[in-house]
């Protein structure tokens, strides 16, 4: 049986974090979607310590990748701040509840969330909206609509936000899940904005990347106060995710929307199967 030395372990964490940062920035997941399963399934880290380290990854991903996306006009900032009210409150509630939730339930909840997200994205076969957008008085009053350079040659494409109140309610739930699982709420943010609220996929991914840092920071503070953020785990992960998130932010404006969607789905399905086996077994 191979013995993993501390140096090898730290290098492995940095590499894993780089991959997590790349995927997190590319599809708006926040990196936790990779970090938590690897730490729990491969390195057998307690899931609550893995969640604490993952929340640090989420904050680093958002701070690094989202800043570039904002400068490129990919983020709907008004919409992000509006939805972040609900996700942040949900994250605080989720962090406070985390001690009372059984470990097996966390694995099963993780798998269920991923399966839902994968199915939701499969049902949406195209990044283009066919039907007419619905009127939304709240979105009109708060000027949540926007435009982003997602057309051919970077042409600005406008989008109208709809169902803003329902989206706010669902984002509260996404915040709770984020704090419980350390996945940055991106697995719910992106499908909600993409399918429910009429936001194009690339804009939804970029806006989610901007939001998840605020959400994760709220719950990370509670995990830190409990001693559930281990610097030996969180430090290398934070370092590795910087490079991956930066690369992901650069690629997002160049990658075809269909490729982004299928990367998103593939990651969700693989991780869901692993977490389901862990929860059942």
Provide the terminal-to-terminal Cα distance of the chain, rounded to the nearest Å: 23
Q: 3-class DSSP state for residue 37?
A: helix
Q: Which contiguous run of DSSP H or E holds residue 233?
A: helix 231-252
On whether residue 180 sits in a domain, the answer given is: yes
On whether residue 79 sits in a domain, the answer given is: yes
- How many folded domains does the chain comprise? 1
On whether residue 244 sits in a domain, the answer given is: yes
The residue among 277, 270, 228 whose CA lies nearest residue 34 is 270
Please report which confidence band the pLDDT of residue 27 belongs to, taking 50, 70 and 90 as the band edges. Answer: low
CA separation (Å) from 187 to 10, 135, 272? Answer: 27, 26, 12
Phi-psi region of 184 (alpha: psi -120 to 50; beta: other; left: phi over 0): left
Mean pLDDT for 156-171 is 91
- Say which residue the tokens 């030996």 belong to: 232
Question: What percentage of the chain exceeds 90 in pLDDT?
Answer: 12
- Say which residue the tokens 């996929």 belong to: 201
Res. 224: pLDDT tops 60: yes
pLDDT at 130: 44
Q: For the whole model, what pTM was predicted?
A: 0.76
The residue among 62, 70, 36 whose CA lies nearest residue 242 is 62
On whether residue 74 sits in a domain, the answer given is: yes
For residues 21 and 29, give the distance between their C-alpha atoms in angstroms, rounded to a whole number.
9
On whether residue 247 sits in a domain, the answer given is: yes
Q: How confident is the model over 53-68, as pLDDT tens digits?
A: 888 877 876 776 677 7
On whether residue 162 sits in a domain, the answer given is: yes
Question: What percentage of the chain exceeds 70 in pLDDT?
Answer: 85
Res. 100: pLDDT tops 50: yes
The residue among 47, 40, 86 whose CA lies nearest residue 180 is 47
pLDDT at 274: 76
Q: How confident is the model over 175-187, as pLDDT tens digits?
A: 898 888 877 677 7
Q: Which domain holds residue 72?
A: 6-280
DSSP notation for 171-230:
HHHHHHHHHHH-STTHHHHHHIIIIIS---HHHHHHHHHHHHHHHHHHHHHHHHHTT---
Give 219's Cβ-side CA count (13 Å radius). 39
On whether residue 133 sits in a domain, the answer given is: yes
Q: How confident is the model over 228-255, as pLDDT tens digits?
A: 888 888 888 888 877 887 787 677 667 7
Structure tokens belonging to residue 190:
């992106």
For residues 252 and 249, give the distance between their C-alpha atoms in angstroms, rounded to a whole number.
5
pLDDT at 126: 47
**Bridge partners (DSSP) listed for residue 158:** 147
For residues 209 and 189, give the distance between their C-alpha atoms in angstroms, rounded to a whole number.
9
On whether residue 1 sits in a domain, the answer given is: no
For residues 118 and 272, give the distance between their C-alpha atoms in angstroms, rounded to a whole number.
9
Please report which confidence band the pLDDT of residue 131 belongs to, taking 50, 70 and 90 as the band edges. Answer: low
Cβ contacts of 113 within 8 Å, gap of 6 or more: 177, 181, 183, 187, 188
Of the listed ranges 210-214, 236-240, 262-266, the least confidently predicted one is 262-266
Of the listed ranges 23-32, 65-74, 94-103, 249-258, the least confidently predicted one is 23-32
Res. 172: pLDDT tops 90: yes
């Amino acid at each position: 049986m191979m013995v993993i030395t501390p140096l090898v372990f730290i290098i492995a964490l940095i590499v894993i974090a780089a991959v997590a940062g790349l995927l997190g920035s590319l599809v708006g997941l926040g990196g936790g979607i990779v970090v938590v399963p690897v730490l729990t399934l491969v390195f057998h880290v307690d899931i609550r310590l893995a969640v604490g380290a993952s929340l640090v990854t989420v904050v680093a991903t958002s701070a690094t990748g989202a800043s570039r996306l904002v400068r490129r006009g990919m983020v709907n900032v008004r919409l992000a701040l509006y939805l972040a009210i609900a996700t942040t409150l949900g994250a605080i509630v989720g962090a406070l509840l985390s001690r009372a939730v059984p470990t097996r339930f966390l694995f099963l909840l993780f798998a269920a969330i991923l399966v839902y997200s994968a199915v939701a994205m499969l049902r949406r076969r195209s990044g283009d909206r066919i039907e007419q957008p619905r009127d939304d008085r709240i979105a009109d009053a708060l000027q949540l609509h926007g435009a982003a350079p997602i057309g051919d040659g970077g042409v600005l494409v406008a989008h109208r936000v709809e169902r803003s109140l329902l989206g706010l309610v669902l984002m509260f739930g996404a915040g709770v899940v984020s704090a419980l699982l350390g996945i940055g709420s991106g697995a719910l943010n992106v499908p909600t904005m993409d399918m429910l609220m009429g936001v194009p996929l690339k804009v939804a991914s970029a806006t989610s990347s901007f939001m998840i840092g605020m959400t994760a920071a709220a719950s990370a503070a509670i995990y830190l106060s409990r001693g559930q953020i281990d610097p030996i785990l969180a430090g290398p992960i934070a370092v590795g995710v910087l490079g991956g998130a930066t690369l992901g932010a650069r690629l997002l404006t160049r990658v075809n929307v269909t490729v982004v969607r299928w990367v998103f789905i593939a990651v969700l399905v693989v991780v869901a199967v692993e977490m389901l086996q862990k929860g059942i077994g």
